[in-house]
Amino acid sequence: MAYRLTKTLVTAVAGLTLATIAPAGVAHAAPAERTNEVPVLIGHRGASGTAPENTVAAFKDGRASGADFFEIDVQLSSDGVPFLFHDDTPARTTDVEEVFPGRANNPVTSFTWAELQQLDAGSYFSDKYVGERIPHLDDAAQVATTQTGVYIEIKSPVYSPGIEQVVADELRNDPTWSRLVAAEKIQVLSFDEASNRRFAAIAPEIELQQLTGVVPTRAVVESWATFADSVGTDYRVLTPQNVADVKGAGLILGVYTVNSPEAVQYSLDLGVDAVTTDFPIENQRFLQGQPMFPGAGVEVTSSVNNPAGDDVQPENGEYVLLRNTSAASVDVSGAIIRDAASSILTVGDGYVLAPGAELRVYTGPGTNSAQAYYNGGSVSVLNNGGDSVALWIGTRLQDVFAN
Ligand SMILES: [Ca+2]
Ligand SMILES: [Ca+2]
Ligand SMILES: [Ca+2]
Ligand SMILES: [Ca+2]
């Protein structure tokens, strides 16, 4: 199947030059000066770095970014309603334990639509989003525009039998969706190859993406080209050979979940066509050569995810390093460090960083000092396989770091 959505790759400002940035987190080549090519930009789960994932609030952040798409995850309720939710259970991102005690670790697809509507899907992120509901599939179409379309991931289709037909019918028969299809602003994705093949048979007119944690052999990639238009994969393990294999098979290449500007630049230098990020607002600024974090004074300069020995241990466990890179003192008391899974570290009271001062923020226990604050936790927060962390002081996003 030929790729029909050639973008968008030419919408950038002519002569655009990205700011040179220091490599951090991942080893990569010096940033290239970019000309007028920008990648397709996609907001992950809407914009899950700045709003609760897979909610209308996150879709609105995705739209506000001006990105090319925002991404959603669709599943079927026990009574067959397509709803938007990432995890297989409601435990992490809803108040299910209060509303339906004992059901937190049940499959989210075992709930009826009416039950799902009783859950709060926003308060896990912050009090600002109390009352956000789990959306219906159609809610995404209501927010999307012909500028910012929708990547529809069919999530865990084995638990949502028949979902391919449900999605295909919506895209064809609901005018709010079909106008987006006509504008080439819809793409359907899945990690599940059998589901993708079913979808391609039902709706060959829709752009289709095969997701994969690791790009397989060239022969397998070429077999995907018989039903898919693009491949989406993890930038952290992507190799130049993978890039050559995907492009050699005639497929467009996208990567996830690319949160820091350094990681975006790294991906572009590898030659990817599309970048999915939890922070579309900030990374759109980056791609346009604008300051990503205007007014920010404190940066995340390092993250030690997997120290020698236990990751969470007294005094010397995993930590995130902050530095005041501004010319003024900054009060970081109450600052929040949020990782990609929305796990949170905080900074205690009384921490004011002088210009140039650093602070290590630990997950585990220890004795607080001017240079170290300990959260006293007993469970690792920072994913050893690579994570991203966002630093918030009050409502201002200060920095995003990925390793
Ligand atoms: Ca997804
Ligand atoms: Ca509909
Ligand atoms: Ca370790
Ligand atoms: Ca860790």
Distance from C-alpha of 389 to C-alpha of 397, rounded to nearest angstrom: 11
125-145: average pLDDT: 98
Distance from C-alpha of 333 to C-alpha of 342, rounded to nearest angstrom: 20
Cα–ligand 1 centroid distance for 380 (angstroms): 24
Using the predicted structure, report yes or no on whether residue 360 has a pLDDT greater than 60.
Answer: yes
Backbone angles phi and psi of 211, in degrees to 5:
-90, 150
What is the band of 20 on the pLDDT scale with cuts at 50, 70, 90? very low
pLDDT of residue 295: 87
Backbone angles phi and psi of 199, in degrees to 5:
-65, -40
Q: What is the mean pLDDT of the chain?
A: 92
* Residue 53, burial from CB neighbour count under 10 angstroms (0-12, 13-18, 19+): buried
Lookup: tokens for 16: 């655009």
pLDDT of residue 107: 98
Distance of CA 179 to the CA centre of its chain: 26
Q: How confident is the model over 289-337, as pLDDT tens digits?
A: 999 999 899 999 999 999 999 999 999 999 999 999 999 999 999 999 9
Using the predicted structure, report yes or no on whether residue 23 has a pLDDT greater than 80.
Answer: no
Cα–ligand 4 centroid distance for 342 (angstroms): 14
- Which chain residues have CB less than 5 Å from ligand 3, an ion? 306, 311
Cα–ligand 2 centroid distance for 142 (angstroms): 10
pLDDT of residue 58: 98
Ligand nearest to the CA of 141: 2
Cα–ligand 1 centroid distance for 71 (angstroms): 7
Percent of the chain past pLDDT 70, that is, above it, reads 91
Residue with tokens 């937190």: 104
- Which chain residues have CB less than 5 Å from ligand 2, an ion? 138, 170, 174
What Cα–Cα distance (Å) separates residue 44 from each residue in 2, 63, 83, 86?
25, 12, 16, 11
The domain made up of 40-287 has a fold known as TIM Barrel (3.20.20)
Q: Which CATH number fits domain 298-402: 2.60.40.1260, 3.40.190.10, 3.40.309.10, 3.40.140.10?
A: 2.60.40.1260
* Residue 161, burial from CB neighbour count under 10 angstroms (0-12, 13-18, 19+): exposed
What is the band of 7 on the pLDDT scale with cuts at 50, 70, 90? very low
Using the predicted structure, report yes or no on whether residue 173 has a pLDDT greater than 60.
Answer: yes
Per-position b or e across 8-33, b if 16+ CB within 10 A of its CB: beeebeeeeebeeeeebbeeeeebee
Distance from C-alpha of 167 to C-alpha of 188, rounded to nearest angstrom: 9
Q: ∠48-74-250 over CA atoms, to 5°?
A: 85
274-281: average pLDDT: 98
Using the predicted structure, report yes or no on whether residue 9 has a pLDDT greater than 70.
Answer: no
Distance from C-alpha of 96 to C-alpha of 76, rounded to nearest angstrom: 18
Q: Where are the domain boundaries for CATH 2.60.40.1260 in the chain?
A: 298-402
Distance from C-alpha of 117 to C-alpha of 392, rounded to nearest angstrom: 30
pLDDT of residue 398: 97
Q: How confident is the model over 298-310, as pLDDT tens digits?
A: 999 999 999 999 9
pLDDT of residue 4: 40
Distance from C-alpha of 351 to C-alpha of 384, rounded to nearest angstrom: 27
Cα–ligand 1 centroid distance for 74 (angstroms): 9
Cα–ligand 3 centroid distance for 305 (angstroms): 8
183-211: average pLDDT: 98
